[in-house]
């Protein structure tokens, strides 16, 4: 029998991460120890936006806007 060459689509399985793991990654990113992309690479997180979703959901900073948050102390001094 002759084998035909077929392109095989290998699908990566979705991983479930614990809440403790998500919070640890979010903490490292918010402390400036890692960028979200570095965290993704270091921990083998497959989704491109997974860490950003965690930051928006579990983080203490405003990750919804594309602009950095203004320092509240500086904003109060300017008033």
Q: How crowded is residue 40: how many other Cβ atoms within 10 Å of its Cβ?
A: 20
Domain boundaries, given as residue ranges, for the chain: 27-65
pLDDT at 61: 82
Asked if 48 and 78 touch (Cβ cutoff 8 Å), the reply is: no
pLDDT at 77: 47
Q: How crowded is residue 54: how many other Cβ atoms within 10 Å of its Cβ?
A: 22
pTM: 0.63
**pLDDT one-digit tens code per residue, 27-64:** 999 999 999 999 999 999 988 899 999 999 999 887 66
């Amino acid at each position: 029998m002759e084998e035909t060459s077929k392109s095989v689509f290998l699908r990566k399985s979705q991983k479930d991460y614990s809440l403790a793991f998500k919070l640890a990654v979010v903490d490292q990113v918010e402390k400036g120890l890692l960028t979200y992309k570095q965290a993704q690479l270091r921990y083998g997180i497959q989704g491109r936006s997974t860490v950003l979703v965690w930051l928006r959901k579990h983080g203490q900073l405003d990750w919804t806007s594309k602009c950095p948050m203004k320092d509240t102390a500086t904003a109060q001094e300017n008033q």
